[in-house]
Amino acid sequence: MVNLDDMQVYKRLDPANMLEHLHDLPRQCRTAWRKAKDFNLSQDYASIDKVVILGMGGSAIGGSLLRNFASRLTKPIIFVNRDYDLPAFVDDRTLVIASSYSGNTEETLSAFSQALKGKCKKLVMTTGGKLKALAEDAKVPVFLIDLVSQPRAALGYSFIPLIAFLQKLGFLKEKTTEVEAMTQDLERLLGELKETAPTSSNRAKQLAVKLQGKIAVIYGAGILSAVARRWKTQINENSKAWAFHETFPELNHNAVVGYQFPSELASEVHVVLLRCPSLHPRTLIRYQVTSELLKQKNISHEIIDSQSKGELSQMMSLIYLGDWASYYLAILNETDPTPVKAIDYLKKRLSEAK
């Protein structure tokens, strides 16, 4: 059994130092915000009524988080496109943002190439690669990500600049105070969740212990819908483990009926219900009733509440907890959290099939 309070275990199992990126997220968010606020974005873009964010995996999650965070906006409507083809509704009042950390994501390149043929507004977020070259050739603005990491560890750059861009175009009110409060919350959480904080008081380590050997099922709602997706993908990629996510209230119309069979699975699952006070009052009731249904079927579960006040802080604080928990689960699984060999294999096979 791995001892999460033994500092030597991190040196042995995390040679690429994913730990450093976890420590760096508060600073990364603050840096990305400042850089995005200084980014020159044409006010012609303010005429849009739709935003389509192209991306996959860790480069797309920022778009999903933005969609939740800005869900009360009447304009622009925000879409996230995780596919090869550009949606047919894209027109001259659409801002297409191609987000690819590497700049070589084939689905994103395909959809962006289609966007280049149309009259939509365009913006690219990347470290380089083919996407940067395509954008520069077409004189499309490029927001450069100056961070060396796995795409999933660059969350500050895939999400926070999107808020700044909507603010610059006049769709969101001034968010600097809210962003600063969020980064301060993350810095406070860092002290509670980092590797030197003992398991006896470390919620992320405790959660990882509960998840070890289990299938993780993550529930979220409202502004936490994409947060639940983030938990799922981090457990997949960092922990190399099965995980799934669902959202309220939809899951109450189907998933709860499926708790019954196969009965053997009840002991193999741990359900995490992510909750925050800003959710719809009726949805909050659904959390309690769903917990009762899980208990009736003897399915291990727990509700995790955000302790933060503002919606951005509620989202990011729960993301940070999930990132740390997935990291500790990787350590418990005695696997390096950084490489994603299955994805590398898939990309190799796809390149051979061209």
Give me the active site residues, please: 237, 253, 347
Tell which residue, 223, 135, 169, 174, has the closest CA to residue 49.
Answer: 169
Q: Strands 94-100, 77-81: parallel, antiparallel or unpaired by DSSP? A: unpaired
The neighbouring-strand residues paired with 243 are 216
| Cα separation, 316 vs 290, whole angstroms | 24
| Cα separation, 272 vs 203, whole angstroms | 13
The pair phi, psi for residue 238, each rounded to 5°, is: -75, -50
Tell which residue, 325, 104, 117, 350, has the closest CA to residue 203.
Answer: 325
| Cα separation, 167 vs 133, whole angstroms | 27
Tell which residue, 14, 15, 191, 274, has the closest CA to residue 4.
Answer: 14
Residue whose token pair is 């006040």: 309
**In terms of DSSP H, where are the helices of the chain?**
8-13, 18-37, 61-69, 106-115, 129-137, 155-168, 176-193, 203-211, 225-237, 281-296, 311-332, 341-352
Tell which residue, 36, 38, 35, 311, has the closest CA to residue 182.
Answer: 311
| Cα separation, 135 vs 129, whole angstroms | 10
Tell me how crowded residue 202 is: count the other CB atoms within 10 A of its CB.
21
CB 166 within 8 A of CB 70: yes
**All residues at 6 or more sequence positions from 149 whose CB lies less than 8 Å from its CB, including other chains:** 21
Angle, in degrees to the nearest 10, between helices 61-69 and 225-237? 160
